Structure 1
Amino acid sequence: MRAKITYFITAAVLAVYFVLAGGRGLALIRIGTPLTVVFGVMVLILPVIGIWFLWKNTQFVKKAHRLSSELEAEGGLPVDELERDRYGRILRDSADEVFARRKAETEDAPGDWRTWFRLAVAYHDARDTPRARKAMQRAIALYDKKPVRAA
């Protein structure tokens, strides 16, 4: 729940920034000199890139949540079996041990989105966010390609 609140606050702050930056860009363009028009266009590019990034990230989060919900319904979500220090931080050796199992599981079934999802969680627990994201993207791609069952 904390992650959702943080995400929505960040998205709201970015939206306000995009509106403010867009307004400044339009104001520069309205001045009409070649220099201010160039600066205005450059300022407008930032909100466009930001909106695109926010949209793609939101789609990623929605798809990952959909996979999580389905895996939970199947009873296949990874169980938190990680050892922690007295401050609640995951111990590196524990994360490495779980990661090794998840990696072997994924190597045994490389076409199963479920194993990639669990590997993404293991990467995240090992604090390797770029690889966690790539593994989750692979899980989403495999999930989207799965055959639709007849009702």
Structure 2
Amino acid sequence: MSAKITYVVGAVVLVFYFVLAGTRGVWLIQAGTPVTVVFGVAVLILPLIGAWFLWQNTRFVTRANALAAELDAEGGLPVDELARTPDGRIDRDSADAVFARRRAETEDAPDDWRCWFRLAVAYRDARDTPRARKAMQRAIALHDGRPVRA
């Protein structure tokens, strides 16, 4: 729950920034001189890019949460199987075994979004965010029936 609150607070702060920067950009454009118009357009570009990124990220999180809820309803949510050292770090041997199992499961059923979801969770548990995100994007695409790049 605290992750959701943090996400919402961060999103609200970003939207406030977008509005603030956007109004400054509009003011610069309204000044009407060539230099202020160029600066105004430049200032407007950053909030537009940021708003697009925030929208894409929010869609991703919403879809991933919907898949988690659906998998939970089926009783198929994965559990964190990674062994930890006393200081909380992931034991590499444990991680390799879990990844081997998850990859084998995914190779056996490459069109099953559930397998890709579980692989994404394993990557996230191991703090491998880029691979976790790619695996989750694939799970979302498979669930939605969209074509998936090999």
TM-score (ref. length: structure 1)? 0.91
C-alpha distance in structure 1 between counterparts of 2:6 and 2:124, whole Å: 18
**Alignment-derived partner of residue 25 in structure 1:** 25
C-alpha distance in structure 2 between counterparts of 1:129 and 1:88, whole Å: 18
Residue identity matched to 1:33: T
**Alignment-derived partner of residue 7 in structure 1:** 7
More deviation in 74-83 or 31-40? 74-83
> 5+ residue gaps in structure 2?
none
Question: How much identity, in percent, do the aligned residues show?
Answer: 74
Residue identity matched to 1:123: Y
Residue identity matched to 1:97: A
Contact 2:80 2:125 in 1 (8 A): no
Q: Deviations over 1:1-31 (max 9, x none)?
A: 1211121111011111101111111111121
Contact 2:25 2:44 in 1 (8 A): yes
Residue identity matched to 1:14: L
C-alpha distance in structure 1 between counterparts of 2:45 and 2:80, whole Å: 43
Residue identity matched to 1:116: W
Deviation (angstroms), 1:41: 0.5
> Which stretches of structure 1, 4 residues or longer, exceed 3 Å deviation after superposition?
none
> 5+ residue gaps in structure 1?
147-151
Deviation (angstroms), 1:43: 0.5
Q: Deviations over 1:69-128 (max 9, x none)?
A: 111111111112221223333333322221111011000100100000001111112222
CA RMSD of aligned residues (A): 1.4
TM-score (ref. length: structure 2)? 0.91
C-alpha distance in structure 2 between counterparts of 1:2 and 1:117, whole Å: 22
C-alpha distance in structure 2 between counterparts of 1:87 and 1:6, whole Å: 26
C-alpha distance in structure 1 between counterparts of 2:91 and 2:34, whole Å: 58
**Alignment-derived partner of residue 41 in structure 1:** 41
